[in-house]
Amino acid sequence: MSALLDLDGVGVSIGRLALLEGISLTVERGQVLGLVGESGSGKSLTAMAAMGLLPLIGGRVTQGSVRFDGQDMAAMTEAQRRALRGGRIGFVTQNPMTALDPVQRIGEQVDVVSRLHLGLDRKAARARTLDLLTQLRIPEAAAVAEAWPHQLSGGMKQRIVIAMALAGDPDLIIADEPTTALDVTVQAQIIQILGNLVREKGVALLLITHDMGVVAQVCDRVAVLYAGRLAEEGPVRPLFAAPAHPYTAALIGCIPQDGMAKGSLTGIPGAVPSARAFPPGCRFHPRCARASDLCRSAPPPITPQGDGRVACHHPGAAR
């Protein structure tokens, strides 16, 4: 069976600035792929490439291909890509506070998705909206459908955004930092909802996050990006047990653990470099304690590592 979403050696540029290089990822039906890395690693840009939204920010795919259900996105017309977005591809944005139209009632905003992509009439669309709100454990769904966005909490708004992503009956959901603006308790509820959707409906989920704890909780596989390149990719449990890339190990080391001694939680020194100043060689080498002359001069190739892949001259050195 072919992957539902397949990015093969994708490079992305805005103007003359190359932002992504050689990104290869696949998402299967019924699978959760976590896409992780610090801000500036290229996670959201990868999602925009997957949805064909790069022209909105003046970007373009400069190498490789993006295929959805076997179809080359670049060969589609904009009308065909627009039909996929909101329909077969649902999108959950990272900020529910700005994702909703403040001058439309909640029900109207969810209704329009199923009317546009499923061809439902007003009555059928509203029935579908109420059913989705109920599935997402929103109490008094009919009353919420008549509410305005400013009357809802952040957690409730995020559930509405998820309902909008589901309204078109998608095969793939792309969730870009869906819990960033929420408190810890609501974050856990939203992550549980997304995980249940994959198990119960068999949809594919591309979950973009900077939180490795979330990845450990809900993902099947994880891809780690750093400065526009893939650092490591593989099944969650083996990768967490024995990360091959020093950056992956550093991200995992930032997860608080029960019983940790005070002051033992460490961060990663430095910051992700700007695309205008990517260092030569391995882009992580200025922050890596194990960097060698080879790391400083030559980009590491992506090589097999167990059931996954790693781009590191010294894989396993971070264990």
DSSP states of 273-316 as a string? PPGGGPPSSSTTGGG-TT--HHHHHSPPPEEEETTEEEE-SSTT
Better-scored residue on pLDDT, 294 or 257: 294
Is residue 263 a part of any domain in this protein? no
**In this predicted structure, what is the pLDDT of residue 181?**
65
pLDDT range class, residue 185, cuts 50, 70, 90: confident
Q: How many domains does the chain have?
A: 1
Band the pLDDT of 318: cuts 50, 70, 90: very low
CB 278 within 8 A of CB 227: yes
Are 190 and 136 in contact, with CB atoms under 8 Å apart? no
Question: Scanning the structure block, which residue is given the tokens 């905003």?
Answer: 109
Is 5 within 8 Å of 21 (Cβ atoms)? no
**Tokens describing residue 154:** 């952040």
The yes-or-no verdict on residue 176 having pLDDT over 80 is: yes
Contacting residues for 43 by C-beta, under 8 A, at least 6 apart: 35, 36, 37, 176, 208, 210, 225
What are the respective helix, strand and coil percentages of the chain, to the nearest 5?
A: 40, 25, 35
Task: Assess whether pLDDT exceeds 70 at residue 27.
Answer: yes
Q: What is the mean pLDDT of residues 197-214?
A: 88
| d(C-alpha 34, C-alpha 234), whole Å | 10
**Residue 264 pLDDT level (bands cut at 50, 70, 90):** low
Least confident of 25-34, 61-70, 124-133, 196-205: 196-205
Q: Which of 143-152, 178-187, 269-278 has the lowest mean pLDDT?
A: 178-187
Structural domain boundaries, residue 81: 5-99+170-258+268-311
* Residue 155 is assigned to a structural domain of this protein: no
Highest mean pLDDT, choosing among 142-146, 162-166, 208-212: 142-146
pLDDT tens digits for 281-298? 999 999 998 899 999 999
Task: Dig out the tokens for 95 from the structure.
Answer: 């900020």
Of all residues in the chain, the percent with pLDDT exceeding 70 is 96
Q: CB of 168 within 8 A of CB of 129?
A: no
Flag whether 126 is in a domain.
no
Q: How far apart are the first and last CA of the chain?
A: 34
Mean pLDDT of the chain, nearest integer: 91
Burial of 84 (0-12, 13-18, 19+ CB in 10 A): buried
Q: What is the CATH number of the domain that holds 55?
A: 3.40.50.300
d(CA 144, CA 153): 11
Residue 127, token pair as written in the block: 């029935």
Say what the pLDDT of residue 260 is. 67
- Sign of the dihedral defined by the CA atoms of residues 41, 218, 196, 24, in that order: positive
Residue 319, pLDDT score:
41
User: What is the pLDDT averaged over residues 288-316?
Assistant: 94
> What whole-number distance in Å separates Cα of residue 109 and Cα of residue 111?
6
Question: 193 with 162: CB under 8 angstroms?
Answer: yes
DSSP, collapsed to helix, strand or coil, labels residue 77 as coil
Q: Is pLDDT of 268 > 90? A: no
Residue 22 scores a pLDDT above 90: yes
φ, ψ of residue 259 in degrees (nearest 5) = 80, 10
Q: Could you give the percent of the chain with pLDDT greater than 90?
A: 73
Q: At 188, is the pLDDT very low, low, confident or very high (cuts 50, 70, 90)?
A: confident
Whether 20 is covered by a domain: the verdict is yes
Residue 245 lies in a domain: yes
Residue 106 lies in a domain: no
Q: Are 93 and 53 in contact (CB under 8 A)?
A: no
Instruction: Please report whether residue 147 resides in a domain.
Output: no
Are the beta carbons of 256 and 58 closer than 8 angstroms? no
Cα distance between residue 222 and residue 208, in whole Å: 10
Please indicate, yes or no, if residue 84 is contained in any of the structural domains: yes
Please count the CA atoms within 13 angstroms of the CA of 48 that sit on its side-chain side: 19
